[in-house]
Every structure is written in C-alpha cells, then in structure tokens.
C-alpha cells in the first residue's frame, strides 16, 4: 500500500480510534484537538504534489482488490483530484478547529460528531482520487451515508431527521442512477479505469448507450450538487450544526457532483446533449437559487439557497465550456475552454467565501441565540470583526472588487456573452437568453448579499429590548473564517499564483487532449470597458434599486401558491408512497401462515415453472434409466397412500404413525435399489424421529376441539399440485441435463480411500468430517440446553428455593 492510499484511508482509520480517545480525555480535553491532526497531516502531504503536478506529471498507485472483476483500489493524483483533495483537507482542518470552540465538550456527543466527520472526509478523498469507477461509486455512497449521520447529528429534533432522510433519499437515488451509467460506460469502453475511459472518448458518441449513460451520470451529479429540481434537500440539511453545514455545503459534499461533471467532460463534452443539459440545468439552478434566497428569513436558509445558486453558476460554466471539445483546436476552443477554467476558479472562490460566511452565521447564532433576520440588526457595534468578515464574504459572492469572486464572476459573464454567439448546437435565439438569465440571477445574488450584510448588522439593535448582552466571538471561533477571508482578498491581488500551480493543472486534467492547444490568459481584474464590465455595473445599479425597494415587491413571493412548490411535491409524493406501500404491505402481511405459504409457493411456481416454460428448460432423458419393477411401483403407491393418510388423519397419533410409515417405506425402497447402507441409516433415523414425535405429542396439551373433517380448498389443492409438478419437472430436467460427471463414482471407492465398508458412514465421518463435527457440536449444545430446562423444571435453583 502506497502513501497516497494511507493518506486517503487515514481519516477512516482514525475514526475507529475516536471513541476510545473521547472516553480517555473527555471532558478534560476537547476531542477535536486530536482529530485536527488528521486533516492537517493529509493536507501537508498533498501540498508536496503541487510542484510536480504543475510541471505536467501525474501519479498513480494501485492495490489489488477484486482482480477477477477488474476492480482494483487505484488512486490517481492529477491536477483535478489534487485541487479537490486540498479543499477537502484544508477547509476540513479549519472546520475542525472551528468546531473545537463551537461544539461544547460537556453537552455534545463529540465522539459521534468526529467519527461521522472523519468518515465523510475519508469518503470524499476516496471519491476524488479513485480511478476505478466502482471504487468511486463505493466512496460516493459512503458520502451519502456519512452525510446522513452528520445532518441527523441532533437526531432528537424532528427537522434534523426530516432533512437527513430527504438528503439520503434524493442523493442515493442519484447514486444508483450513476451506478447504472457507470456500468454502461464500462460496457461501451471495456474498461473500469477512468483514465482509460477518457482516452476512448472519440468515436463513441454514436454508441446506443452513450446518451442513456450520460443522463444517468448527470442524475447522480445533479442530485449530489443540489441542481434543480433536486435542490430541495439542501435547505433542510441546514438543521445540522454549523460546522457540518460549513464543511458539507460549501467545500465538499455539494462539490462531488461538480467533480463528476468535470471529470467526465472529456468523455461526454462536445455533444449537443451534454452542452444543453449541463449548462441549461446550471442556469436554471442559478436563477432558482438566487430568487429564492432573497425571500429567506433564516440566515442559514439564505446561505443554503445562495449555495444552490452558486453551484448552478459553476455547473453552467462547465456546460458552456464543453463547447471547446466540439471545436477541438483553434481560437474557438480557447474561448470556450476558458469557461471551464472559470468554473474551477469560482469553485475554489466559493469554497473560501461561503465557508467563511457559514462560520460567521454560526458565530451570530452562537452569540445571539437566533438566526432570524427579522430579530437581528445593529450587530456592527458589538461584533465588528464578524461584520467585516460578512462584508468580505458577501461582497465576494456578489462579485464585487477587491475580492476573488469579482474575478471569477467576470469570467462567468465572458462565458455567457460568448455562448450567445455560438453557431453550433442550434443555439440561435435561445442563445440570447443565456446571458439574460445569468445577468438577472446575478442581480438577485447582489440583493441577497446586501440583505445578509445590512439586515443583520445594520439598523437598530432589536435584541437590546430582550436584555441580551452582545459581544464579539472569542478568538477560537474567529480564526478559521479570518483565514478564509484573507484568502478571499489575497487571491484577488495575486490570483495567478494559485492559477499556475492549482487551477491550470486541474484544467489540464479536465481537458487532457486540448490543454496544450488552449492558451489560457492571465487572470486580471481589468480588461478595459467591455460588455462584462457593463454587465457588472448593471448588476450593482439594479441590485441597489431592488434592495431599496424590497418591501414594495417582496409581497410577490407570497402570491406564489405553496401547493406548486417542489418541497410540497416531495412531501405529497412521500406521503402517497407511504400510503400505497402501507396498503400493499397490509395486503400480504396478514398474520396467517397459510397466506405466507401461498405467496411463497405461487412465486416459486411462476418464477421456476415460468423459466422452464419460457426457456424450454424441461428435458426428459430416460435413456439411462433402469426399468421400474412391480415391487417398486407397489411401494410408490403405498408411499402415496401413506402421505395422503397424514392429510386426512383425525388424531395426532394417526398422523405420527403415518409419517413414520412413510419413512420406513422409503428404507424398503433403498433395499430394492441395493443401497443397504442408506436403508440402515434411514431405519435408525426414522425410528428415532418417530419416537421423539410420539414423546413430544404425548406432553402437548389436548386440542380443545378435534377436527372431524378437513375442509377442501381448491386453491390449496391447485397450488400444492403445481408446486409438486414444478419440483418434479426440475428434478427430471436436472437428471436429464448432466453437464459434469456424477460425484457418486468418487464415493464408490470409499473402502479403498477411507477403509469404511459403510459408504454413508464414510461420507459423514471422512469425506465431510468437519461438517459432522460441527453438527455434533450443535446437537451437544442443544442437548445441554434441554438438560438444563429439565433440571430447572424438576428441581429448580436451590438459591431460589431458599428465598
């Protein structure tokens, strides 16, 4: 196992130790101090890859797992996976440090919190570094399970359970769809390696599985990254503690879908379907999230919808940039390839300013006891540092200078303008709507950013009347958002440092065949007076106007009927599904053994009998059968009569005797078939079982009402007869279809091999001795249990008697 494997698995392995550490150090030392070491070590280790990856190198390490199915634990370190790995561990370190001061070591179950967090971190690392598609899927579902546990951390709250369940149902549905898409890709390319799949991208667009695989892969990406209409799970996931929200919904979980789309752009990009679906869904999500963020009164809900909006923006840039693969080489590919670079740039920017904002909102909630914007105001006088951090994060999200969000937003506007000029994919008039939708969404983004800053910190202090003493947060809570805010500012002034060492290698990994021909320009804050700059001026002017007149037009939100919302559709759908499933379950879970047997045998008849009929599997080969003598036929008739007598017996004794007779007659058949060993064994077994039956029935209480006549039921008769017919047909077909030599010839030499004259004893003692030994052990334990029960019934415990 390589060092990169250890780095990926370290959080998962350390999660095993967290409960023991918590038990030893709590409540004297916060468990987070020990957990913090894990992401820091992995982050420092990943930093060592930067120089070589910037030079164009990649790394691969493999551990054999299931070679028979071409499933190996292969990890690839390239520009894209490294960038995500640094985000996962870097922001993870800041979140854990923040949680040390946010999560009380006295009131919270920290061992659960950090176990879930480390499991999620390890799953995300495994997801982004995996080269095998099935290993990627395993880690993908691990993120869904661990995020469920994180969101439901405060499981005693109904809203936490509801949000966790919603996120689980939606993301797991997408994960299963993605798995089907990955299987189709494997069938198309004949490989499970992502690198090998991407190398076969050319020439597969006409494959019949190309479009279904694309749609299924995008379903997985859209559900995980909260794209419209699957975005409804993200706001409800805000019921989790703020450190979890800051980690899952700014830098990690919601970026998994972004990673998937970026990784498979080289395979599906260049097709009209990929261009329209990815960019279209991204733009709709951008507009949907920004419009709905304005109406929120809870600060975390506002950030949730802003996250949806920003994720849509990143997704749309990936879709628009995929047009570069259509052009291949030339100036056009450079123009549209820049949109993918902008998506990478904004993804990192979003992780920094959104992570800082989530932490500041947590500070406000921690210090004031509320996140309701209607109850807040005037906090700037008491929390100046938090106000400054909110300004930096919000203005960066609004796309204002001097913050990194301005740079990536300008590149986004460039992508919108260029997309409207496309002459491919039947863009036409629809292309004019692309920059309009993006610009309108940016205006609403500006409005909710102003709400976040000025409605929270401006105006009069509404909490003073309630006697709430307000003060700035302690240093421990402020340090993590301060670091992120500094990155927001520094990356505006020196963006090309990270651009050369992180963003360009990631871009090269997304477009491995075009990165040499696409000449990316240096990131700059000034490109002259162009359309993008005028669009920014328009966003600011109209954004200020809408914010100033918010009270006049805010009532428009109330006009929209709640019955038509996506959340209502989800709730109604879940309620209907529960009713239908409950009705179906009540239909077959009747509590009667007969009904269960009917379902089992009918299913058996339909599946097994139907398969024999449809596939022509019934084969009757009597060429090697011995002739049936009159004695054998007579015994069979008597066997049938004995079996029927059990059904019509009126007393238990008659039924037991009939069953015993049935067994003894079978032993006579063995004699006729020249199998004395089996006959003797059958006689012994039948004698013992009959005796035990009689003994057991002797001690059972008498029936209150003897059954004089068993009512005839045609349904029972038909099912019983058909079941017997199917079993008979299967037995005859198995006997007539011998793909291998019979194993009985091997046991015929039991005397020479085992020195045993009784072939049954030889099989039980020598050939299958371990099975027999375990069976004897089971019987011995059962015998001891019976003996104990007898002793307790007869004499009881002496101590109990004394009492």
Task: Write the pLDDT tens digit of every residue in 714-739.
Answer: 888 899 999 999 998 888 888 777 77
Tell me the C-alpha distance between 273 and 265, whole Å.
Answer: 12
Q: Which residues have C-beta within 8 Å of that of residue 375, sequence separation ≥ 6?
A: 462, 463
Question: What's the CA gap between 465 and 704, in Å, rounded?
Answer: 77
- In the numeric block, which tokens belong to residue 642? 């004995």
- The pLDDT of residue 466 is 63
3-state secondary structure of 107: coil
Distances (CA, A) of 291 to 287, 305, 520, 533: 6, 9, 33, 23
User: What's residue 735's pLDDT?
Assistant: 76
Three-state DSSP class for residue 376: coil
Per-residue pLDDT at 746 exceeds 50: yes
pLDDT of 363 above 60: yes
Predicted pLDDT of residue 268: 92
Angle at 584 between CA 583 and CA 586, to 5 degrees: 65
To the nearest whole number, what is the mean pLDDT of the chain? 87
492-544 pLDDT, tens digit per residue, is 999 888 888 999 999 989 988 776 666 777 888 887 788 888 999 999 999 99
Evaluated on CA atoms 574, 244, 231, 183, the torsion sign reads negative
For residue 751, give the nearest of 741, 743, 761 by alpha carbon.
761
Give the confidence band of 677 by pLDDT, cuts at 50, 70, 90: confident
Q: Which has the closest alpha carbon to 391: 356, 416, 421?
A: 356
pLDDT at position 55 over 90: no
Phi, psi of 203 (to 5 degrees): 90, 0
CA angle 681, 686, 690 (to 5 degrees): 160
Identify the pLDDT of residue 642.
85
HSE-up of 21 (CA within 13 Å, CB side)? 18
Share of the chain above pLDDT 90, in %: 49
What pLDDT is stored for residue 803 in this prediction?
45
Checking if the pLDDT of 429 tops 80, the result is no
Is the pLDDT at 706 greater than 70, yes or no? no
Residue 575 confidence (pLDDT) above 70: yes
Are the beta carbons of 15 and 119 closer than 8 angstroms? yes
Distance between CA atoms of 450 and 123, rounded to whole angstroms? Answer: 36
Give the other-Cβ count within 10 Å of 743's Cβ: 7
Q: What token pair was written down for 709?
A: 């006549």
Q: Are 12 and 73 in contact (CB under 8 A)?
A: no
Q: Minimum mean pLDDT among 76-80, 306-310, 629-633, 704-708: which range?
A: 704-708
Give Rg (Cα) of the chain.
36
Min mean pLDDT across 1-5, 287-291, 306-310 is at: 1-5
Ramachandran sector of residue 295 (left: φ over 0; alpha: ψ -120 to 50; beta: rest)? alpha
Burial class (CB in 10 A: 0-12, 13-18, 19+), 245: buried
Q: What is the mean pLDDT of residues 411-427?
A: 83
Distance CA 392, CA 398 (A): 10
Cα 568 to Cα 91, 232, 284: the distances in Å are 34, 10, 19
* CA angle (413, 419, 420) in 5-degree steps: 95
**Closest to 494 (Cα-Cα) out of 407, 395, 392, 587:** 407
d(CA 76, CA 44): 18
Which pair of tokens denotes residue 291?
Answer: 């419009």
73 bridge partner residues: 63
- Check if the beta carbon of residue 350 is closer than 8 Å to that of residue 404: no
Taking alpha carbons only, the member of 420, 369, 426 closest to residue 531 is 420
417: number of Cβ within 10 Å: 17
Q: Which of 152, 135, 127 is nearest to 255 (CA)?
A: 127
Instruction: Indicate the range of 168-182, 350-364, 581-595 predicted with least confidence.
Output: 581-595
The size of the chain, in residues, is 803
Q: What are the pLDDT digits (tens) for 152-205?
A: 998 888 999 999 999 999 999 999 999 999 999 999 998 999 999 998 888 788
Round to whole Å and give the CA distance between 449 and 399: 10
What is the reported pTM? 0.81
pLDDT of 679: 86
Q: What integer pLDDT is reported at residue 21 of this predicted model?
A: 92
**Residue 136 near residue 186, CB atoms below 8 Å:** no
Please give the DSSP secondary-structure letter assigned to residue 427. Answer: -
Q: Which of 332-341, 345-354, 542-551 is predicted with the least confidence, judged by mean pLDDT?
A: 332-341
- Give pLDDT, residue 796: 52
Counting residues of the chain whose pLDDT is more than 70, the rounded percentage is 95
Q: Which residues of 544-579 are buried (b: 16+ CB within 10 A; e: fewer)?
A: eebbeeeeeeeeeeeeeeeeeeeeeebeeeeeeeee
Strand partners, 63: 73
Is pLDDT of 410 > 60? yes
Residue 582 has pLDDT above 70, yes or no: yes
Report the SS3 class of residue 31. Answer: coil
Question: How many CA atoms within 13 Å lie on the side-chain side of 451?
Answer: 31
User: In the prediction, which pLDDT does 528 show?
Assistant: 79
pLDDT surpasses 80 at 61: yes
Neighbours of 293 (CB within 10 A): 26
Tokens of 3: 């060092």
DSSP assignment of 565-628: SHHHHHHHHHHHHHHHHHHHHHHH--S-HHHHHHHHHHHHIIIIIHHHHHHT------TTPPPP
Handedness of CA 183, 189, 191, 195 (dihedral sign): negative
CA distance 222 to 312: 10
pLDDT (tens digit, 9 = 90+) per residue, 478-494?
Answer: 999 999 999 999 999 99
- DSSP string covering 753-775: HH--S-HHHHIIIIITHHHHHHH
- Return the structure tokens found at 198: 């991407």
Sign of CA dihedral 262, 264, 267, 268: negative
* pLDDT at 759 exceeding the cut of 80: no
Enumerate the H helices of 499-592 as residue ranges: 504-510, 531-548, 550-553, 556-559, 566-588
- Evaluate if residue 626 carries a pLDDT over 80: no
- Grade residue 792 by pLDDT with cuts at 50, 70 and 90: confident
Beta-carbon contacts of 553 under 8 Å, excluding residues fewer than 6 positions away, are: 546
pLDDT digits (tens, 9 = 90+) for 292-315: 999 999 999 999 999 999 999 999
91: which 2 tokens?
């922001």
């Amino acid at each position: 196992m390589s060092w990169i494997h250890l780095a990926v698995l370290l959080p998962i392995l350390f999660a095993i130790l967290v409960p023991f550490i918590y038990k030893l150090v709590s409540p004297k030392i916060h468990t987070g101090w020990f957990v913090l070491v894990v992401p820091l070590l992995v982050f420092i280790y990943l930093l060592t890859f930067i120089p070589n990856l910037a030079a164009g190198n990649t790394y691969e390490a493999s551990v054999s797992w299931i070679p028979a199915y071409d499933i190996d634990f292969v990890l690839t370190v390239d520009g894209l996976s490294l960038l995500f790995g640094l985000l996962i561990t870097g922001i993870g370190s800041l979140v854990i440090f923040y949680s040390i001061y946010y999560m009380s070591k006295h009131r919270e179950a920290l061992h659960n919190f950090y176990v879930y967090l480390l499991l999620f971190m390890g799953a995300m690392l495994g997801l982004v570094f995996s080269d095998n598609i099935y290993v990627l899927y395993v880690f993908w579902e691990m993120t869904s399970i661990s995020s469920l546990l994180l969101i439901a951390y405060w499981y005693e709250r109904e809203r936490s359970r509801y949000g966790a369940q919603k996120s689980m149902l939606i993301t797991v549905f997408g994960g299963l769809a993605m798995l089907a898409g990955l299987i189709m890709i494997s069938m198309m390319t004949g490989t499970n390696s992502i690198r090998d799949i991407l190398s076969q991208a050319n020439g597969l667009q006409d494959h019949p599985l190309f479009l279904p695989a694309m749609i299924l892969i995008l379903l997985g990406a859209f559900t995980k990254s909260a794209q419209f209409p699957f975005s409804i799970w993200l706001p409800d996931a805000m019921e989790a503690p703020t450190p979890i929200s800051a980690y899952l919904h700014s830098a990690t979980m919601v970026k998994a879908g972004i990673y998937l789309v970026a990784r498979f752009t080289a395979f599906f990009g260049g097709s009209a379907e990929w261009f329209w679906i990815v960019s279209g869904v991204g733009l709709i999500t951008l507009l949907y999230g920004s419009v709905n963020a304005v109406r929120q009164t809870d600060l975390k809900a506002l950030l949730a919808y802003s996250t949806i909006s920003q994720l849509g923006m990143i997704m749309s840039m990936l879709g628009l940039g995929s047009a570069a693969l259509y052009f291949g080489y030339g100036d056009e590919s450079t123009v549209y390839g820049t949109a993918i670079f902008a998506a990478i740039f904004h993804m990192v920017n979003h992780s920094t300013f959104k992570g800082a904002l989530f932490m500041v909102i947590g500070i406000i909630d921690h210090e004031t006891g509320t996140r309701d914007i209607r109850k807040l105001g005037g906090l700037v006088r008491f929390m100046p540092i938090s106000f400054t951090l909110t300004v930096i994060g919000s203005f960066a999200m609004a796309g204002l200078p001097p913050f990194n969000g301005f740079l990536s937003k300008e590149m986004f506007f460039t992508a919108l303008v260029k997309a409207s000029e496309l002459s491919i994919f039947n863009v036409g008039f629809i292309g004019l709507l692309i920059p309009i939708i993006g610009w309108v969404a940016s205006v609403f983004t500006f409005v909710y950013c102003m709400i976040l800053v000025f409605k929270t910190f401006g105006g009069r202090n509404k909490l003073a009347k309630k006697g709430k003493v307000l003060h700035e947060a302690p240093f421990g809570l402020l340090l993590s958002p301060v670091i992120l805010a500094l990155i927001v500012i520094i990356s505006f002034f020196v963006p090309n440092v990270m651009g050369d060492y992180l963003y360009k290698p990631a871009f090269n990994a997304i477009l491995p065949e075009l990165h040499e021909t696409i000449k990316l320009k240096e990131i700059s804050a000034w490109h002259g007076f162009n359309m993008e700059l005028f669009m920014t001026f328009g966003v600011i002017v109209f954004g200020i106007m809408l914010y100033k007149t918010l009270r006049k037009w805010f009532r428009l939100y109330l006009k929209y009927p709640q019955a038509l919302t996506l959340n209502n559709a989800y709730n109604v759908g879940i309620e209907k599904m529960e009713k239908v499933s409950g009705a179906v379950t009540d239909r077959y879970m009747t509590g009667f053994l007969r009904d269960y047997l009917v379902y089992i045998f009918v299913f058996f008849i339909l599946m097994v009998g139907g398969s024999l009929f449809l596939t022509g599997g019934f084969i009757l080969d009597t060429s090697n059968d011995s002739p049936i003598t009159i004695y054998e036929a007579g015994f069979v008739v008597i066997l049938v009569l004995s079996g029927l007598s059990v059904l019509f017996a009126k007393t238990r004794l008659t039924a037991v005797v009939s069953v015993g007779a049935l067994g003894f007659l079978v032993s006579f058949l063995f004699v006729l078939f020249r199998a004395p060993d089996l006959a003797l064994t059958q006689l012994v077994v039948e004698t013992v079982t009959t005796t035990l039956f009689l003994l057991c029935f002797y001690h059972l209480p008498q029936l209150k009402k003897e059954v004089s006549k068993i009512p005839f039921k045609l349904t029972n008769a038909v099912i019983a007869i058909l079941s017997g017919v199917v079993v008979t047909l299967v037995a005859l077909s198995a006997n007539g279809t011998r793909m291998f030599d019979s194993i009985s010839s091997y046991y015929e030499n039991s005397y020479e091999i085992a020195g045993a004259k009784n072939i049954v004893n030889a099989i039980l003692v020598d050939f299958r001795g371990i099975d027999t030994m375990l069976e004897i052990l089971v019987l011995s334990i059962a015998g001891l249990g019976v003996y104990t029960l007898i002793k307790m019934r007869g004499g009881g415990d002496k101590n109990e008697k004394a009492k």
